[in-house]
Amino acid sequence: MYEPILFCVKDKNNYTFNTDDILVEAKSGAKRKLIDYRKAVPTVYNSEKVPGNVWEFARVRYRMDEYENYPTQKPIALLERILKASSNEGDLVMDPFSGTFTTCFVAKELGRNFIGIELQDEYVKIGLRRLQLAKEFKGEKLQKEIRTFETEKLAAAHTLQLFEGSNGKYIHSKH
User: Is it the case that residue 49 has pLDDT exceeding 70?
Assistant: yes
Residue 43 — very low, low, confident or very high, per pLDDT cuts 50/70/90? confident
Question: What does pTM read for this prediction?
Answer: 0.78
User: Residue 141: helix, strand or coil by DSSP?
Assistant: strand
Find the mean pLDDT for residues 111-119. 97
Write the pLDDT tens digit of every residue in 150-165: 877 767 766 655 555 6
Give me the amino acid identity at 34: L
Name which residue leads in pLDDT, 164 or 81.
81
CATH fold of 19-24+51-163: Rossmann fold (3.40.50)
Beta strands in the chain (DSSP E): 24-25, 35-36, 43-44, 48-49, 92-95, 113-116, 136-137, 140-141
User: Residue 76: helix, strand or coil by DSSP?
Assistant: helix
Cα separation, 50 vs 167, whole angstroms: 56
